[in-house]
A and B are shown apart, each in its own frame.
Chain A
Amino acid sequence: MNVLAAAADGGVQIGTGEAVVFWVLGPIALAGALGMVLSRNAVHSALWLVNTMLALGVFYVVQEAPFLGAVQIIVYTGAIMILFLFVLMLVGRDSSDSVVETLRGQRVAGILLGFGFAGLVGAGIARATQDLPVTGLDAVQGGETSNIEAIAELLFTRYLLAFEVTSALLITAAVGAMVLAHIERDPGTRPTQKELSRARFLTDRPQTLPGPGVYARANSVAAPALLPDGRVTEDSFATGIDPQEVDQMPRPTGRAELGTPDASLGSLEPTVSDVPGGQDAGSTPR
């Protein structure tokens, strides 16, 4: 923009600092957006989106909207994105995470149209706003009146009705979410602790499943448990996740590491806990 022309229109000159902020954060926001679309993992997508939103929040502050900037960071990135992550955790990973396209031509057409749209709208905006003067908000805020006061003044006068209607919208959304997420259960149909316990002992495996990562270097959910002989315990596989390849600890080899044979034999006193799973019930008098 022509600086002289802007000054002649009574506009505000955009400072160098803002330009620096824009050129730093703009690419970061773009990168976040692209990362969100491109990353396989939905959790990564969410984190990329948080990145973009934070950048946008800074843009708001820079553009004389500190209130919106704060709301963007606190409510959007703080609350809404956490909600996303909650649901992601609830739903877990599934085949939809795969980035293989199933609709024929969808990806190509989408990208082509995206380029076309971005080009057309970008060109249109650039053409229409190249001489847009920056009036600035000094007249309505700054000085005595803060940004929040300026917004509040309009919100509770001109936009009062819309504001009130918004409350109805929010309560409707809250009730709607409760109705949708709620599962109707008849009272008494939920199994009690006693029933669950009884059912567990009627199975072949009353004890808990083995935890992951035993004797392994990883404590990831994807890492399976190992048996003492080094085999993988299939019981410990997490559902829906390919078991991770586990790097085993190097086997102890030297005498010092293995210890004495007596020590490794342990005590000769039999204990109940020596019977695996307590399954040798027949021989044990009760």
Chain B
Amino acid sequence: MDTVPAEGLIAASWLLIALPLAGAAVLLLGGRRTDRWGHLLGTATVAAAFVLGLSCTLALDGRQVDVDLFTFVATGSLDVQAGLLFDPLSAVFVLLITGVGALIHVYSIGYMAHDPRRRRFFAYLNLFVAAMLLLVLGDNFVALYVGWEGVGLASYLLIAFWHERPSAATAAKKAFIMNRVGDVGLALAIFLMFAQLGTVSYEGVFGSIEAVAGGTVTAIGLLLLLGACGKSGQFPLQAWLPDAMEGPTPVSALIHAATMVTAGVYLIARSAPIYDQTPTARAVVLAVGAITLMIGAIVGCAQDDIKKVLAYSTVSQIGYMFLAVGLGPAGYVAGLAHLLTHGFFKAGLFLGAGSVMHAMNDSVDMRRFGGLASRMKTTFVTFGLGYLALIGFPFLSGFYTKDAIIEAAFDRGDGWGYVLGGLAILAAGLTAFYMTRLMLMTFFGRPRWEDGVHPHESPTVMTAPMIVLSVGSVLAGFLLVVVFPLEEWLSPVFGEPEGAEHVVAPILVSILVTLVMLLGAAAAWLVVGRREVPVVAPARVSPVVRAARRALYADTVNESLFMRPGQWLTRALVFVDNRGVDGAVNGLAATLGGSSSRLGRTQTGFVRSYALGMLGGAVIVAGALLAVTAG
């Protein structure tokens, strides 16, 4: 890793973080005075950050620029310099975060127009953007960790934004606690790095990681993976992400689809030199990605909540990315490309879902939708483009990036490669199935609206970001793979692309994926589109559907494996504390209290009694003196 010191525009890249942070501070500290223009300030800071990020990226020219800021921690042998690393990898993340972030800020102006706490919402969004930028820009693991916790906090605050709803408050706590499990892993990984290498900067760690014993590297890799799983909603910590949809829809779009949940992918990609040393950890990444990919796809097929379907889709797509980065150097670029295109079309899909909810009085039950295509043409078109991009319709974004991952899986060349590739293709079919089902239930068929619902198109301030994102959904894949190959852009980070020989011809893979995708869509049409959709979910269904509806019993497993034993342990500890510890302490206190009240009886308040005591003392002193001198 060869970095150059910062100069010119990039030296000011700390402004990228400072701008949204200042926005958040102004909005949070300014109070109600900022209510009138707070949303505009929040949007402006992120838009300014995007412009700055774009300028910096254009000035980057394939270098890896280190921006040294100040000494963050200097105690003993722990020396942490607060610095930023602006390289092609962080540049693409900066553009994704600020670009999609700015669009979603604009959308939120309309979406949150009637919320009395809109200013606070924008403050939290700004806080999130600042923390996320710190996460991707930091040049050491501690800075990354600060940003990592910052986005966790912002995520918690935003999921619980409507905290008067018990479900939202619970979902926020669930997200926070499950994230904490991952964060402990990340923290332990950083501790381990410091203990083994004495440094936590990327440059120092990656430069000396080869000298570390294999077992330790594997441990670091697995702990980093645990952190990534927590933040990205990957197996086994995937259960919080769908619940996080209790937050406002722009939050789901920005944090829980486009940016924060991809932080795990960023972490693993950034730590590529570590995973290069440990095939074991890398294989675990692969397994996690594959398992999550299937879980998300299967569960998504059975959900009736439009945001939950998209959430499980997100889980599944991030599984693709994990699968890709787990494949090693061949997959990094594919995974990151999918991350970028996914950021576009999934954010667009969420914004579309928000627009639909906006029209349907905040209902999320797809069984009560239907026939919205004619009422909400802009939403339908933009949502449809995002849908096509997601299922991998030929020549849209998803087609390019998903095929790349599947090709990379086959390119492993061994039996596992075929298994993983097959799973990925199967998941693509399932993706097509659940997304087609969502489209059919929402936009087609006979209206099944509840009484008093009058769907209408959303205002321009909401549709404009959707249009921009849908254009991105259509073009991003083509641009990133064909026009400006991401592979070349990222080569300073991941090395020059090797002209790998393909085990299966790419064209064959593409045809196969397209066929499976069409098969999935057709199956959805057979199940949903051809028949009337029942308003109430049918109760008599196969065990598979029942399991999928309950998210493959993830919550049940968590409850029986962790929550119940935890409660039992807590009760036991409370019992021990009450009877044992408190008993001892209370007994001691009671003994002291009793003896003191008994001693207190001697304090009669009669001054003559006290004088008697004094005279007694004087007699004793006189006697002692006499005894000493006479003796």
Direct contact of A and B (CB under 8 A): yes
Q: Taking beta carbons and an 8 Å cutoff, which residues of A are in contact with B?
A: 103, 106, 109-110, 113-114, 116-117, 120-121, 123-124, 127-128
B598-610: contact bitstring with A at CB < 8 Å (1 yes, 0 no)? 0000001010110
A116 to B616, CA, bound (A): 9
A264 to B608, CA, bound (A): 64
**B9 close to A (CB within 8 Å):** no
Q: Determine whether the beta carbon of B618 is less than 8 Å from that of A117.
A: yes
Q: Nearest chain-A residue to B615 (Cβ)?
A: A113
Q: Determine whether the beta carbon of B626 is less than 8 Å from that of A117.
A: no
A103 touches which of B606, B625, B629 (Cβ 8 Å)? B606
A contact patch SS:
helix
Q: Determine whether the beta carbon of A124 is less than 8 Å from that of B626.
A: yes
**B479 close to A (CB within 8 Å):** no
B612 touches which of A110, A120, A123, A127 (Cβ 8 Å)? A110
Q: Determine whether the beta carbon of A114 is less than 8 Å from that of B615.
A: yes
**B4 close to A (CB within 8 Å):** no
**B623 close to A (CB within 8 Å):** yes
Q: Determine whether the beta carbon of B609 is less than 8 Å from that of A106.
A: yes
B629 touches which of A106, A116, A128 (Cβ 8 Å)? A128
With A113-B615, A120-B623, A124-B622: A106-B630 Cβ-Cβ less than 8 Å: no
Q: Nearest chain-B residue to A127 (Cβ)?
A: B630
Whole-angstrom distance from the CB of B373 to the nearest CB of chain A?
Answer: 90
A116 to B619, CA, bound (A): 7
Whole-angstrom distance from the CB of B155 to the nearest CB of chain A?
Answer: 67
Chain B neighbourhood of A117, CB < 8 A: 615, 618-619, 622
Q: Taking beta carbons and an 8 Å cutoff, which residues of B are in contact with A?
A: 604, 606, 608-609, 612, 615-616, 618-619, 622-623, 625-626, 629-630
With A120-B626, A124-B625, A124-B626: A103-B608 Cβ-Cβ less than 8 Å: yes
Top 4 closest pairs, chain A to chain B, by CB: A120-B622, A124-B626, A117-B619, A116-B619
Q: Nearest chain-B residue to A122 (Cβ)?
A: B622
Q: Determine whether the beta carbon of B615 is less than 8 Å from that of A103.
A: no
A103 to B629, CA, bound (A): 36
A187 to B144, CA, bound (A): 77
Whole-angstrom distance from the CB of A14 to the nearest CB of chain B?
Answer: 25
Q: Determine whether the beta carbon of B619 is less than 8 Å from that of A113.
A: yes
Q: Nearest chain-B residue to A102 (Cβ)?
A: B606
Chain B neighbourhood of A120, CB < 8 A: 619, 622-623, 626
Q: Determine whether the beta carbon of A123 is less than 8 Å from that of B619.
A: no
A98 to B626, CA, bound (A): 38
Whole-angstrom distance from the CB of A132 to the nearest CB of chain B?
Answer: 15
Q: Determine whether the beta carbon of A113 is less than 8 Å from that of B616.
A: yes
With A117-B622, A120-B626, A124-B626: A103-B609 Cβ-Cβ less than 8 Å: yes
A94 to B616, CA, bound (A): 30
Whole-angstrom distance from the CB of B509 to the nearest CB of chain A?
Answer: 103
A106 to B609, CA, bound (A): 7
Q: Nearest chain-A residue to B604 (Cβ)?
A: A103
Apart from A113-B615, A124-B626, A127-B630, what are 16 other A-B pairs with CB-CB below 8 Å?
A: A103-B604, A103-B608, A103-B609, A110-B615, A113-B612, A114-B615, A116-B619, A117-B615, A117-B619, A117-B622, A120-B619, A120-B622, A120-B623, A121-B622, A123-B626, A124-B625
Chain A neighbourhood of B615, CB < 8 A: 110, 113-114, 117
Chain B neighbourhood of A106, CB < 8 A: 608-609, 612
A109 touches which of B612, B623, B626 (Cβ 8 Å)? B612
Could you list 27 A-B pairs, sorted by A, with CB under 8 Å?
A103-B604, A103-B606, A103-B608, A103-B609, A106-B608, A106-B609, A106-B612, A109-B612, A110-B615, A113-B612, A113-B615, A113-B619, A114-B615, A116-B619, A116-B623, A117-B615, A117-B618, A117-B622, A120-B619, A120-B623, A121-B622, A123-B626, A124-B625, A124-B626, A124-B629, A127-B626, A127-B629
Whole-angstrom distance from the CB of B218 to the nearest CB of chain A?
Answer: 81
A106 to B604, CA, bound (A): 13
Chain A neighbourhood of B608, CB < 8 A: 103, 106
A109 to B609, CA, bound (A): 10
A110 to B606, CA, bound (A): 14
Whole-angstrom distance from the CB of B213 to the nearest CB of chain A?
Answer: 79
Whole-angstrom distance from the CB of A68 to the nearest CB of chain B?
Answer: 26
Whole-angstrom distance from the CB of A95 to the nearest CB of chain B?
Answer: 15
Chain A neighbourhood of B623, CB < 8 A: 116, 120
* Max count, chain B CB within 10 A of own CB: residue among A103, A114, A117, A120: A120
Q: Nearest chain-B residue to A116 (Cβ)?
A: B619
* Max count, chain A CB within 10 A of own CB: residue among B604, B606, B619: B619
A127 to B622, CA, bound (A): 13
Q: Nearest chain-B residue to A109 (Cβ)?
A: B612
Chain A neighbourhood of B622, CB < 8 A: 117, 120-121, 124
Chain B neighbourhood of A113, CB < 8 A: 612, 615-616, 619
Q: Nearest chain-B residue to A114 (Cβ)?
A: B615
Q: Nearest chain-B residue to A105 (Cβ)?
A: B612
Chain A neighbourhood of B604, CB < 8 A: 103
Chain A neighbourhood of B609, CB < 8 A: 103, 106
Whole-angstrom distance from the CB of A107 to the nearest CB of chain B?
Answer: 10
Chain B neighbourhood of A124, CB < 8 A: 622, 625-626, 629
Chain A neighbourhood of B629, CB < 8 A: 124, 127-128
Chain B neighbourhood of A110, CB < 8 A: 612, 615
Whole-angstrom distance from the CB of A284 to the nearest CB of chain B?
Answer: 62
Chain A neighbourhood of B612, CB < 8 A: 106, 109-110, 113
Whole-angstrom distance from the CB of A135 to the nearest CB of chain B?
Answer: 23
Whole-angstrom distance from the CB of A129 to the nearest CB of chain B?
Answer: 12
Whole-angstrom distance from the CB of A130 to the nearest CB of chain B?
Answer: 13
A103 to B612, CA, bound (A): 11
Q: Nearest chain-B residue to A115 (Cβ)?
A: B619
Whole-angstrom distance from the CB of B297 to the nearest CB of chain A?
Answer: 89
Whole-angstrom distance from the CB of B630 to the nearest CB of chain A?
Answer: 7
